[in-house]
Amino acid sequence: MQSLSELRVGVDSGRINKHANSQDEMPIDIASIKNQVQFNCHISDANYSGTFSLCMLLLRMRNLYKWEMDIPPWREPPRDELLKWVENRENMWQELEGRTARALEINGHSLDSMEASDVNARLGGTDLYYGAGLATGMKPSYLLGRLVESRCQEGMHVCIVDAELARDIFSVPLMRQGSEIVGRRRAMATLLWDEIMELRTSSSMALAFAFDCHGLNLHRVRKQPSLQKEGFMRVVNFELETWVYHEIGESLVDAFPGDLWQRIVSEQAGTLVEFFARAVRDLLADTHPGGLLGHIVGAGKSSSLGFYAALTRPMSRVIYPEIVPAVQDFMHTFDWKAIEEARQAGYKRGLKMAMKLSEIYQDCLDKGALEAEKEVRDKVIRPLGILESLEEENPAG
């Protein structure tokens, strides 16, 4: 599955309150906050756009353009207009490169742009939601959106954002910090639609199966998206609710001692070691008994199982070889026992890889990041026999 990279997120405690905090509180200037957040998004994009492969950068820029122009994911923009926008955006990034994010000014209060909880405390009298954190490659990422749902689930605080008022080029359907999870409907719709349009040979059968479970024909959705958008959005909302369990599973994983995982991804930002570490933790989150696959099996969600196989990326296919064949068999047998066995096998393998990664990295703590990267490559990744294939796939996208 596509890596669901962790961000620091924060939200006011557990409900949407549309009333003022107090009679003395000044009204929130939404336009001002939106512009401030978007400016920080531009700065982040300017400084970190180079961390993406060219192919993935262009894909993300296309999706960012669609969002800015209020174009739905399934509608392609005019090519000439998109290319002109890309040129203008790159010129803007050149002007902003090297700058740092600004503090957010809200009703006379100056707030650190990375302290999402503090910002949300000031937005508590509205339906606005603010998220901020460090994404893959340690890229600062920001979000300002409309909070449409807030609930407690499996000991977590889950928030669902619909309309997004400000965002950067990095966008994933789910983010987590501690016991808080935010789901983004627009990001989920974009992810699924990009998968439909790409329609890779390796994933087409599982994708068609998943849509069929929802009573939709994949090829009809692909050819007539405007006529199928209501059904497509039902799929988006249903699967987003299911994917919450990836983040729940991640909160239950305790395979890396202390802050070692955070240290690995920060010190190895942009390297194969970072992407490998993230893939291992994603595998553990998905295969934990309380995680995504555990929930899919327990609830009998055939469509979600199909999407899981369809969205499994090359690195995950290599470190978790059981799942795709198991799902392919499931599409004919509907044998949930085999899926549960594949889940257990994946969890055991993930624990072994996490233990080995932790041991090797801890032994290198005094040797520096470059030596640690070499040691992990040689003693963790290379023995798996997958180094060449991982490097060829360029997981930085």
Instruction: Write down the pLDDT at residue 4.
Output: 36
Within this chain, do residues 348 and 369 fall inside the same structural domain, yes or no? yes
Within this chain, do residues 149 and 230 fall inside the same structural domain, yes or no? no
Residue 3 inside a domain? The answer is no
Query: Measured on CA atoms in the order 151, 154, 155, 159, is the torsion positive or negative?
Result: negative
- How far lies 249's CA from each of 9, 152, 153, 288, in Å? 17, 15, 12, 6
Within this chain, do residues 170 and 221 fall inside the same structural domain, yes or no? no
179 touches 156 (CB < 8 A): yes
Residue 15 inside a domain? The answer is no
77 touches 66 (CB < 8 A): yes
Range 174-183 average pLDDT? 91
Instruction: Write down the pLDDT at residue 199.
Output: 92
379 touches 363 (CB < 8 A): no
Q: Which of 157, 187, 217 is the last residue of a domain?
A: 187
Within this chain, do residues 168 and 238 fall inside the same structural domain, yes or no? no
134 touches 65 (CB < 8 A): no
- Of the candidates 116, 110, 178, the residue with the CA atom closest to the CA atom of residue 141: 116
Instruction: Quote the CA–CA distance of 117 and 126 in Å, as a whole number.
Output: 14
**What integer best gives the mean pLDDT of the chain?**
91
Range 18-30 average pLDDT? 61
Q: Which of 134, 158, 187 is the last residue of a domain?
A: 187
Within this chain, do residues 230 and 92 fall inside the same structural domain, yes or no? no
Instruction: Write down the pLDDT at residue 240.
Output: 98
Q: Reply yes or no on whether the pLDDT at 18 is more than 70.
A: no
Within this chain, do residues 162 and 213 fall inside the same structural domain, yes or no? no
Residue 257 inside a domain? The answer is yes
Within this chain, do residues 122 and 48 fall inside the same structural domain, yes or no? yes
User: Higher pLDDT residue, 210 or 1?
Assistant: 210
- Residues 127-167 have pLDDT tens digits of 999 999 999 999 999 999 999 999 999 999 999 999 999 99
395 touches 315 (CB < 8 A): yes
- Of the candidates 281, 254, 367, 50, the residue with the CA atom closest to the CA atom of residue 376: 367
Residue 13 inside a domain? The answer is no
Reduced to 3 states (helix: H, G, I; strand: E, B; else coil), residue 180 is strand
Instruction: Write down the pLDDT at residue 96.
Output: 98
Within this chain, do residues 73 and 99 fall inside the same structural domain, yes or no? yes
Instruction: Write down the pLDDT at residue 397.
Output: 42
Rg (CA), the chain: 21
Within this chain, do residues 331 and 385 fall inside the same structural domain, yes or no? yes
231 touches 215 (CB < 8 A): yes
- Of the candidates 185, 210, 180, 214, the residue with the CA atom closest to the CA atom of residue 196: 210
Within this chain, do residues 84 and 204 fall inside the same structural domain, yes or no? no
Residue 348 inside a domain? The answer is yes
Instruction: Write down the pLDDT at residue 3.
Output: 40
Residue 5 inside a domain? The answer is no
Within this chain, do residues 179 and 204 fall inside the same structural domain, yes or no? no
Residue 77 inside a domain? The answer is yes
Within this chain, do residues 104 and 168 fall inside the same structural domain, yes or no? yes
- pTM flag (> 0.85): yes
Q: Reply yes or no on whether the pLDDT at 20 is more than 80.
A: no
Q: 302-310 and 292-299 helices cross at what angle (nearest 10)?
A: 150
Instruction: Write down the pLDDT at residue 38.
Output: 98
Residue 235 inside a domain? The answer is yes
Domain count, the chain: 2
- Residues 90-123 have pLDDT tens digits of 999 999 999 999 999 999 999 999 999 999 999 9
Range 218-226 average pLDDT? 96
Q: Which of 187, 207, 222 is the last residue of a domain?
A: 187
Q: Reply yes or no on whether the pLDDT at 326 is more than 80.
A: yes
Its domain, for residue 372, covers: 199-393
